[in-house]
Structure 1
């Protein structure tokens, strides 16, 4: 048993060292590739851009659509998690409670599936990036690695694909349409949404103004 304990201890120390090294590295260096990208059979189209080259409408749109408390939580929206647990316990469509910070941790360091084990690792990396990266870097990385379409990753590649222009000049409506497609980027249409998706996009476009008015993105532009 002693050799097993020593082996597991070495594995744990190695994991901690490697994870901290990667988190520190990606605080300054663009993330070159993620597990999701590698496993995407549709290829990879991406173009890393600094947050200063991504329209603030895009930032406000993802906050409005994905995580309204982004600037006020510590990486975890406990109220949303509790609501998701209660709803999932009642059955029906599974609802998630992940913040942008959690999604960034998953997208950069982990994989898309994996149950509670992956969720545990996700929580660990979320704490690390909240403490080491800060909100602005988390948002910058998120908007560069999030899947925005089939084989398409990041706001810049998405903007070029759907609107033929840079992410630096997105309108609230364009940004909102990209944001509402993020949960299911291979299935939701950005360019010509219809029905519920169009209405949802219009709702998020309106909420972009609320994010601006209430300064819900203030932590990113301090």
Structure 2
């Protein structure tokens, strides 16, 4: 019996071979690109972690905001001051104003976040730790990329730095006015004094302008700023009495 074409192998057409080869090349390129993207992401993360370790004992020389404002204004006023040379009431005032549960969280205040979501607020859930990460390592703005980086770096900062160190760095890089960065420059700019000589009222006024440093003045406070400073002074006394200042006090 003759079986005709049985046993003959079917040859793939050149067009099918080209299509399969092209798909294979595209898949290979995607895998290569993903691999390099993952390596780059880990490299960036490792660099940030290295900086966090370094800044545990060396002071950050500048920040992106200070650099950009210096370019815009032709210079900024900022001089580093160790926490030991800042009036303790200044530390308590900033915590009372910005993050009253600073000693009780690990970088994220989940209670404040839930309250902000429930009330639809755009501000109020960011902790001092998150603000330090944003000010020292990242940039201003509300982009998802920045928020994602902030969420990754904040736990590392909390794990490596002490609460006192976080607060010390915050007080030295925070913007207190146009071209005025850090509590040293702010104390002189508004009150012609030094950080160690700040009174409770002066400390509260400085803390009161932090959410809007270019739109508020500590030396000539509006009624709103004055009232807010009064509430901050009360809050600073409260967290000292109830132990919520223990993690950064000496």
TM surpasses 0.5: yes
| 1:78 lines up with 2:110 in the alignment | yes
Among 130, 140, 148, the residue aligned to 1:102? 130
Q: Secondary structure at the match of 2:221?
A: coil
Among 37, 41, 46, the residue aligned to 1:17? 46
| 1:220 lines up with 2:248 in the alignment | yes
Aligned to 1:151: 179
Aligned to 1:205: 233
Q: Secondary structure at the match of 2:103?
A: coil
- Displacement of 1:33 after TM fit? 0.6
The alignment's TM-score, normalised by the length of structure 1, stands at: 0.94
* Cα RMSD after superposing both structures: 1.3
Q: Spell out, residue by residue over 1:163-219, the C-alpha distance to the aligned partner (whole angstroms, 9 max, x if none).
A: 111101111100000001001101111101121111111111222211221232111
**Take 1:184 and 1:216, find their aligned partners in 2: how far apart are those partners?**
25
Q: Secondary structure at the match of 1:39?
A: helix
Among 209, 217, 234, the residue aligned to 1:181? 209
Which segment drifts farther, 203-212 or 122-131? 203-212
Larger RCO (CA within 8 A; separation ≥ 6): 1
Q: Secondary structure at the match of 1:148?
A: strand
1:87–1:95 CA contact under 8 A, matched in 2: no
1:47–1:157 CA contact under 8 A, matched in 2: yes
1:146–1:154 CA contact under 8 A, matched in 2: yes
**Take 1:212 and 1:16, find their aligned partners in 2: how far apart are those partners?**
37
Aligned to 1:130: 158
Aligned to 1:119: 147
1:176–1:204 CA contact under 8 A, matched in 2: yes
1:67–1:99 CA contact under 8 A, matched in 2: yes
Q: Secondary structure at the match of 1:27?
A: coil
Among 164, 173, 176, the residue aligned to 2:192? 164
How many residue pairs get matched?
Answer: 218
Unpaired stretches in structure 1, ≥5 consecutive residues? none
Q: Secondary structure at the match of 1:218?
A: coil
Aligned to 1:32: 61
After TM superposition, list the pairs within 5 Å mapping 1:57-96 onto structure 2: 57-88=89-120, 94-96=122-124
- Displacement of 1:13 after TM fit? 2.1
Q: Spell out, residue by residue over 1:30-74, the C-alpha distance to the aligned partner (whole angstroms, 9 max, x if none).
A: 111101111212331101011000110100101111111000111
| 1:56 lines up with 2:91 in the alignment | no
Unpaired stretches in structure 2, ≥5 consecutive residues? 1-29
Q: Secondary structure at the match of 2:102?
A: coil
